[in-house]
Amino acid sequence: NYLRREMELITNVTEYEKLAKERLPKMVYDYYASGAEDQWTLRENREAFSRILFRPRILIDVSHINMATNVLGFNISMPIMIAPSAMQKMAHPEGELATARAAASAGTIMTLSSWSTSSVEEVNSVGPGIRFFQLYVYKDRNIVRQLVKRAEMAGFKAIALTVDTPRLGRREADIKNRFTLPPHLVLKNFEALDLGTMDKTNDSGLASYVAGQVDRTLSWKDVKWLQTITSLPILVKGVMTAEDARLAIEYGAAGIIVSNHGARQLDYVPATISCLEEVVRETKGRLPVFLDGGVRRGTDVFKALALGASGVFIGRPVLFSLAVDGEAGVRKVLQMLRDELELTMALSGCTSLREITRAHVITDSDRIGRARL
């Protein structure tokens, strides 16, 4: 009863993290929570949002607010979707299945990690829902072919190709903890290929697994190769510069996810919200640009949309709420973010997503520009 009361008192997404830390084994919490090296980018992913301020418009009829949007031709209830996060059964016995149900009930998209502890077929079996599949490209391309085909057969609607992980970032908490997948779990999509388990090492077991399996030769030509093995649209996840945005268009990507992998790969890259405008400017509306990293409030979502994002993906809030309260926790996180976005829109004078414009926010670069004037 005390726990239930505690959960009823949760009023924002961030509060789930403290409760998750109390419940999860240290190795698991550290794996979900930590960033690379000094964790500067981990902090900056949040702090950069706090430097963007609003320019609200007033005396606008906001009695009806519409947050619905369309992503790659799929209608969803709001521009808030679920990012791929690995090994969710470490957080809760139902893992990715609970997340999939929560996303479907909220009318939004879930992205399933390649390294999920539930298979694409199991996730499909929970019922209808719009789902994307995140792909790591293994050295053995037959494995990739098989996996993409299985995702297609299981009704997944797009591939989110992660492009920022030729090697795993140095996550020192995982090295200290000698992180490995708990013995009762496997990477379900690779179970039949005898690649579902991780060896114990003196380092991070996941880093060793990645070194052994993931293809470091991955390049732009492989985006073209993927198009020959699947008809699904391909989102390139991990773009942070205008130069790479231009190449993504050139190589036929269906969309871009501006991401620094939750600050888990290269430390001292800027926050994703700080890279967003550069990428959006380069795409000139030719393909949708999404953002992940550091989104914890409806105000963050609004800021991303004002700077040109077509939507955002959330990662850690899903893991922490899943750890605390399973499917109900994930549902509540999605509902809280939805409610906060609706309130932000009302107080900024926007009744639909297309009314959210660059004129609704002030960034660091605006302040510098004004100072020069």
Q: How far apart are CA 176 and CA 166, in angstroms?
A: 22
CA-closest candidate to residue 302, choices 64, 53, 73, 127 = 53
Q: How far apart are CA 180 and CA 208, in angstroms?
A: 10
- 296 annotated as ligand-binding: yes
- 294 annotated as ligand-binding: yes
- Give backbone dihedrals phi and psi of 310, rounded to 5 degrees, phi first: -90, -10
Predicted TM-score (pTM) of the model is: 0.94
Q: How far apart are CA 154 and CA 21, in angstroms?
A: 34
- pLDDT > 70: percent of the chain: 94
Catalytic entry in 64, 92, 184, 261? 261
Please enumerate in sequence order all residues whose Cβ is within 8 A of that of 223, keeping only pairs 6 or more positions apart, or say none.
161, 234, 236, 248, 251, 252, 253
CA distance readout (Å), 130 to 105, 118, 121, 221, 327: 11, 17, 14, 28, 17
Average pLDDT over residues 172-195: 87
pLDDT category at 74 given cuts 50, 70, 90 is very high
Annotation marks residue 261 as catalytic: yes
101 contacts 327 by C-beta, under 8 angstroms: yes
- 194 annotated as ligand-binding: no
CA distance readout (Å), 285 to 114, 249, 252, 277, 357: 29, 11, 14, 12, 14
- 259 annotated as ligand-binding: yes
CA-closest candidate to residue 315, choices 294, 340, 343 = 294
Query: Tokens standing for 130?
Result: 């719009």
Q: What is the 3-state secondary structure (H, E, C) of 198-213?
A: CCCCCCCHHHHHHHHH
- 270 annotated as ligand-binding: no
pLDDT category at 257 given cuts 50, 70, 90 is very high
- 369 annotated as ligand-binding: no
Query: Tokens standing for 257?
Result: 């996810």
196-240 per-position pLDDT tens digit = 565 666 665 566 776 678 889 999 999 999 999 999 999 999 999
Average pLDDT along the chain: 93
